[in-house]
């Protein structure tokens, strides 16, 4: 069973106002709930064994016609290179005329996901973010 510890946090007024606005926008019942949520997100993003399988989603925004690197699964099949990266879902839509939004749900070793995602995100004209959704540690936490 987990115990709760109270501790104090010093924050400048502007940052505190932003935290309160975020708490209200996202429906947190208290500053503590908002801070716990933010800490969990950051720990999730920083956690994990690079070889451990994780599930993540990659969001990409780019101009229509931008060439994306090949799908790692297609590359692996063509080269008979057993890639452990999986694309579980692929959603693409036009957010505005000429602007594409792509959301990929990915599964594989953390390091491989980060490497492949960085190849996409480092290309000119592509803006996005890789967000970890599930790690082995989070699964254990959710199951307890």
- Chunked into runs of 10 residues, the chain (144 residues) has average pLDDT values of 84 93 91 87 68 88 83 50 78 91 91 86 90 77 72
What pLDDT score was predicted for residue 136? 72
Which helix (DSSP H) or strand (DSSP E) does residue 75 occupy?
Answer: helix 72-79
CA distance 80 to 85: 14
User: b/e for 27-52, b at 16 or more Cβ within 10 A?
Assistant: ebeeeeebeeeeeeeeebeebbeeee
Contact yes or no for 32/41 (Cβ under 8 A): no
Angle between helices 31-46 and 13-26 (to 10 degrees): 90
Give the model's pLDDT for residue 142. Answer: 72
Superfamily of domain 53-143: ACT-like. Chain A, domain 2 (3.30.70.1150)
**Residue 74: left (phi > 0), alpha (psi -120 to 50), or beta?**
alpha
CA atoms within 13 A on the CB side of 120: 22
Question: In degrees rounded to 5, what are phi and psi of residue 25?
Answer: -60, -40
Q: What angle do CA 25, 61, 57 make, to 5 degrees?
A: 70
Is pTM, for the whole model, over 0.75? no
């Amino acid at each position: 069973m987990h115990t709760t510890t109270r501790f104090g946090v010093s924050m400048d007024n502007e940052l505190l106002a932003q935290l309160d606005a975020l708490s209200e926008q996202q429906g947190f019942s208290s500053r503590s709930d908002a801070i716990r949520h933010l800490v969990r997100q950051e720990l999730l993003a920083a956690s994990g064994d690079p070889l451990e399988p994780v599930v993540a989603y990659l969001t990409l925004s780019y101009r229509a016609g931008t060439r994306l690197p090949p799908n790692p699964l297609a590359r692996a099949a063509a080269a008979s290179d057993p890639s452990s990266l999986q694309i579980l879902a692929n959603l693409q839509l036009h957010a505005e005329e000429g602007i594409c939004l792509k959301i990929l749900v990915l599964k594989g070793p953390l390091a491989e996901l980060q490497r492949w995602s960085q190849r996409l995100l480092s290309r000119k004209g592509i803006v996005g973010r890789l967000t970890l959704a599930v790690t082995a540690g989070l699964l254990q936490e959710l199951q307890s």
